[in-house]
Structure 1
């Protein structure tokens, strides 16, 4: 096994020099961590290698029954990017932001996280579950998702997974509503104490938050006025990167250096592979397929304007800190910020119940006017046709 691990971490050619991270004096940012490329190249690569990398797979149990799809090649790249964002949130929560993977890793928590994304019907975040839940967003199995669609699907799926212990909030209409998020994540628990007075105590507990903000930063290409702010998002310690890419070609952006964004690419087709408890040689080799040796990079100006920015806040303090930085560094200092921050919901907005499947109008005197929550995205966005792009976005600027 040691020989196989060594072969994985090296390259066949001694003259091979990857072009993943340039030798530059400019800082390299990876999900809120700042690196020096000339002094910390191997640490940067080790950090990237530790991210769970989900790609196209083939040969898994059919999705949707015996006649269903056994591969997601050609349509599952955005679903895989969504998996990578959620997996990184779980690793940050349950293993820490500074956790590193090695081929010898057999940590039970790591294996449990990975098992939740394997291509099995029973896995809560498998390609099967995401594709099936996509039907509630109007997406047939095998149909390409946009960033907003995968965010909405993951938001539903986490409700069925108590172990992961997170909430997902998808910020619509380019606006983070602080009140909504605090209502979603602050869970009140009541405990009884065995005393002579039969006391009861009420505690407020924060449920860790994965915040996803779908945006459209231009028409056919990203507007240059947003580039600096977009790069700055990777510098926040709560950063979980950006889902984006090209039309119908999704990538998971995890950082930047200079004017390039660094990304993990799901467009590699691998065989269906289970890691389970990582007890056999086959399972150990399968684990290697979930980690990418070298990231890629492209000019940030070349990415598609339809993106979704992600942040993870394990505590309420982290969320408050994030809001402060957004306000001070992205909104106050920018004439055209990426998104807005509001303490409360504007009166003209509909009231969204994060834990239910309905919305109730707050703009009328009637409280009985309800409709399906997951069919109302278009109510909050401009009804414009943008070819070759996800249509669930608000145009900025």
Structure 2
């Protein structure tokens, strides 16, 4: 499809759509028979809504479907930290290990051509579903930790070498042109690696995220669960709402995941008694694995620089499964950092939907090009995810995460842990103009939450 032709068609269709709106309005005003014309009116409005949905889908497919897969430059002088592990890029073996581990992350992007979403005729999430896709990536990382052995990667023991466009760059890399040519000659197709038959569990995980109404973590299911939060297909979902949607999706998947629960922090507080009670059901000796999702807002319009240290320390923990964040209405999935740049997976790339009922190809669910952006561009609204496999891991998580969020000595912590349970009755009686208190050491901070956006507590 030619983008310029598609754009011209879109403009022409938009004009036709405007005429249709005028025609519907005219027919309503000049109705000779009210009962009959009201029925026709309803049908016309419904048809117009469907037509608009198709126009939006077509335009977003053009806009995001032709996005180039850009590559970021990484310095060999500094290590890369990604989800609890560090990689020294000056070492060739470490470079390959980093590439293999990054490509093993599950990558969910915009898709087009799936069945219409609940309550709409939209067949794509291009242009509005980036937060839901980032949420899928965070949940998928937790499921990989939950179901796969530690250190598992998609490529297994296969040799992975750099492609023709080197991923790792350095001002003085020390390699001669002949050495570079030798490395290029060892090129191995990523498609050939990722499309090889693999064990059943990873494919089963991918099927759970399929773009169809029966998938427990698919876009259709997440949109359906978002209705209780006042959201519908085509709306933009904030990181906080996305956290509650993930919790509901995990709760509804007890058949597939009987030993996994999800907990969402409230008012930037993780109530330990609530988490333990959730993990001990039905019996204390059968402690369940837990996903902990913490919605936070780290500043006003921009990220408070004092929290950068804490964000880095969190991404250095093995219990951290990533951060849903990005820029306003432009969500990304953060998985690591190098120096003052965040490493992320980008959902803003529209691909055709995949039929997972067959032996489907895997390449479109993996990204081989790591990208990064400055911390200064990170939106302060985000949701941070953690995973603990058992009780001992949970207690260790509490200790390490508490140390990380208290890293900035001049500010209040990003969120806190509190022994006890949620005070639901107190919250129910709290006035709309509420004030939340966060305790750090001997300091007490007063935070006005009346103007916080998207259910976040402003720190």
**TM-score grouping bracket, smaller chain normalisation:** 0.7 to 0.9
Counterpart residue number, 2:334: 253
* More moved, 35-44 vs 228-237: 35-44
Q: Is 2:449–2:458's contact at 8 Å kept on the other side of the alignment? A: no
- Does residue 34 (structure 1) correspond to residue 86 (structure 2)? The answer is yes
Q: Is 2:265–2:293's contact at 8 Å kept on the other side of the alignment? A: yes
User: Which of 201, 216, 220 lines up with 1:124 in the alignment?
Assistant: 216
| 1:1-397 alignment runs, 5 A limit | 19-20=71-72, 22-39=74-91, 40-64=94-118, 68-102=121-155, 103=194, 104-162=196-254, 163-164=256-257, 165-189=259-283, 204-276=285-357, 278=359, 283-284=360-361, 287-331=362-406, 334-336=409-411, 337-345=413-421, 350-351=423-424, 361=425, 383-385=449-451, 391-396=454-459
Q: Could you report, residue by residue, the CA deviation over 1:69-101 in whole angstroms, capped at 9, with x for unpaired residues? A: 100001100000000011111111111341111
- Shift in Å, 1:19: 4.4
Q: Could you report, residue by residue, the CA deviation over 1:322-380 in whole angstroms, capped at 9, with x for unpaired residues? A: 111233343377342211111124xxx533xxxxxxxxx168xxxxx89xxxxx9x998
Q: Is 1:147–1:306's contact at 8 Å kept on the other side of the alignment? A: yes
Local SS of the residue matching 1:161 = coil
Give the paired residue count. Answer: 335
Q: Could you report, residue by residue, the CA deviation over 1:184-225 in whole angstroms, capped at 9, with x for unpaired residues? A: 111244xxxxxxxxxxxxx61111111111111111100111
With normalisation by structure 1, the TM-score equals 0.79
RMSD over equivalenced CA pairs, Å: 2.4
**Within 2, Cα distance between the matches of 1:19 and 1:121?**
34
Change (3 A) 1:87 1:379: farther
Q: Could you report, residue by residue, the CA deviation over 1:248-307 in whole angstroms, capped at 9, with x for unpaired residues? A: 0000000011110000000000001123452xxxx22xx211111112100112110101
Q: Per residue, is there more helix in 1 or in 2?
A: 2
**Within 2, Cα distance between the matches of 1:302 and 1:112?**
36
Local SS of the residue matching 1:289 = helix
Change (3 A) 1:147 1:379: farther
- Shift in Å, 1:318: 1.0
**Within 2, Cα distance between the matches of 1:333 and 1:265?**
28
Local SS of the residue matching 1:168 = strand
Change (3 A) 1:178 1:332: farther
Q: Per residue, is there more strand in 1 or in 2?
A: 1
Change (3 A) 1:120 1:329: closer
**Within 2, Cα distance between the matches of 1:379 and 1:130?**
31
5+ residue gaps, structure 1, are 1-16, 190-202, 352-360, 364-368, 371-375
**Within 2, Cα distance between the matches of 1:301 and 1:130?**
30
Counterpart residue number, 1:13: none
5+ residue gaps, structure 2, are 1-68, 156-193, 437-446
- Shift in Å, 1:135: 0.6
